[in-house]
Amino acid sequence: MSRIKVLIVDDSAAARLALAALLSEDGGLEVAGTESALALASMAREWPDVILLYMAALGLDDIAFLEELMAVRPTPVLLFSPHLGKGAEMVLQAVFAGAVSVLSRPEPGLGRSLHDKAGELIDGIKAVVRSKRPVAETGFHVQEEPGQGKK
């Protein structure tokens, strides 16, 4: 079986390297990374099976990237953001634009918290790729932040 090609899109080189190192521990993943401004050009050389998109500022540039990506070639996108509670509206816009899953990510100072998320990310990546269903039917959902449960 061929390895799953994962592209990490994050404007922080340190975060890309840390996340790539963690994900690369799984021999079934082939991990690369780039900053958002270069993502589509990078993908023109080799298209990934899954994109892990970090939305730090939850800006319209990220939404525009998702919309352009889905117009060019729909590809599963796992959104990784520290703003699930504060930026819920933008997170929902990202889901409507094509993200299939939204996971919380700790703020900078990645450390152990990011390491703890690695298994969850790897499982999510593999599930999306193996589902063979259209992006909209993967069944992934927005993961609530701790303490942000339903009332």
Q: Which two tokens stand for residue 36?
A: 């958002």
Mean pLDDT per 10-residue run, the chain (151 residues)? 88 86 90 88 90 71 83 87 66 80 62 67 83 47 39 36
Cβ atoms 102, 138 nearer than 8 A: no
Cβ atoms 15, 45 nearer than 8 A: no
pLDDT for 69 equals 87
pLDDT for 60 equals 59
pLDDT for 29 equals 93
pLDDT for 57 equals 53
